[in-house]
């Protein structure tokens, strides 16, 4: 349901994705609030912003980390200093079962937490086998509504107001 990229310059990335690629509009969520974030099994506190936009039925996520805290995003930037592809987002209604399934197949739980609206996510480290991570996204009515609203905004988007920063 989603493909995500880590970027160094969010404004330039937004300009590229909206202007060159025709994806949008993007909705920017500054300093995303995460409850009980854990990076590789230890509590963490990173500062990052995401931007979400749609191309057809595919959500494109752009991620900009604002600090130097160790994270799954910094891991990518160590390999690719200019940023690039990071993960696929996969929706699941069997969140705990899917996390356990990935772990039983040898994939570490790299980053997890709960977003402020109360929905859980988990990044599974599939880098070695897939060339990127898989983010499991617990599908709840709130998550379905959020992604549905974002997709609906893109359906008849005429290119105006390409970057939106909800207050």
The pTM of the full predicted model, rounded to 2 decimals, is: 0.96
Q: Are 127 and 107 in contact (CB under 8 A)?
A: no
Q: How far apart are CA 133 and CA 149, in angstroms?
A: 25
Which pLDDT band, with edges at 50, 70 and 90, does 117 fall under? confident
Q: How far apart are CA 69 and CA 78, in angstroms?
A: 13
At 7-26, the pLDDT tens digits run: 999 999 999 999 999 999 99
Q: How far apart, in Å, are the Cα atoms of 113 and each of 42, 48, 56, 127?
A: 11, 14, 28, 20
pLDDT at 140: 93
φ and ψ of 96, to 5 deg: -60, -40
Q: How far apart are CA 59 and CA 42, in angstroms?
A: 29
Q: How far apart, in Å, are the Cα atoms of 47 and each of 31, 33, 39, 84?
A: 6, 8, 13, 19
pLDDT at 147: 94
Assign a CATH topology to domain 2-162: 2,3-Dihydroxybiphenyl 1,2-Dioxygenase; domain 1 (3.10.180)
Q: Where are the domains of the chain?
A: 2-162
pLDDT at 152: 97
Average of per-residue pLDDT values in the chain: 96
The answer on pLDDT for 56 being more than 90 is yes
Q: What is the DSSP string of 62-99?
A: EEEE-S----HHHHHHHH-TT-EEEEEEEEES-HHHHH
Which pLDDT band, with edges at 50, 70 and 90, does 44 fall under? very high
pLDDT at 166: 79
The answer on pLDDT for 118 being more than 90 is no
């Amino acid at each position: 349901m989603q493909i995500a990229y880590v970027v160094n310059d969010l404004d330039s990335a937004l300009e590229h994705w909206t202007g060159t690629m025709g994806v949008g509009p993007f909705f920017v969520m500054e300093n995303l609030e995460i409850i009980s974030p854990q990076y590789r099994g230890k509590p963490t506190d990173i500062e990052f912003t995401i931007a979400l936009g749609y191309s057809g039925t595919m959500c494109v996520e752009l991620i900009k980390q604002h600090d130097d805290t160790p994270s799954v995003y910094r891991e990518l930037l160590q390999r690719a200093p200019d940023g690039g592809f990071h993960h696929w987002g996969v929706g699941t209604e069997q969140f705990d079962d899917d996390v356990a399934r990935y772990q039983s197949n040898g994939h570490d739980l790299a980053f997890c937490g709960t977003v402020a609206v109360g929905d859980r996510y988990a990044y599974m480290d599939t880098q070695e086998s897939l060339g990127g991570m898989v983010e499991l996204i617990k599908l709840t009515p709130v998550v379905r509504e959020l992604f549905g609203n974002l997709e609906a905004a893109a359906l008849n988007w005429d290119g105006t107001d390409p970057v939106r920063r909800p207050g």
